[in-house]
Amino acid sequence: MIIRTPFLFIFVPHMLYFFRKKDPNRPTNFNIKVMHWINRIAIIVFLAGVIYKLIEVFLK
């Protein structure tokens, strides 16, 4: 199984989601803050699952 470089670039926008600056024009309320935290948790769980599967495949 060969992993090509463009495959890795699909994760870059997801990782930048964690490190973006606060936009002063964006409305902030409790619902939006909770939505963003749920999105972060979902991305982390997804990446953990992908890493787990990759380790499982390569160790067999």
pLDDT score recorded for residue 24: 78
Q: What is the pLDDT of residue 55?
A: 93
- Can you give the pLDDT at residue 2? 52
Q: How far is it, in rounded angstroms, from Cα 1 to Cα 54?
A: 11
- pLDDT at site 45: 94
Give 16-46 pLDDT, tens digit per residue. Answer: 666 777 777 877 789 888 988 998 899 899 9
Cα 17 from Cα 25, distance rounded (Å): 17
Q: Does the pLDDT value for residue 7 go beyond 90?
A: no
Q: Give the pTM.
A: 0.58
Report the pLDDT value the prediction gives residue 13, as an integer from 0 to 100.
67
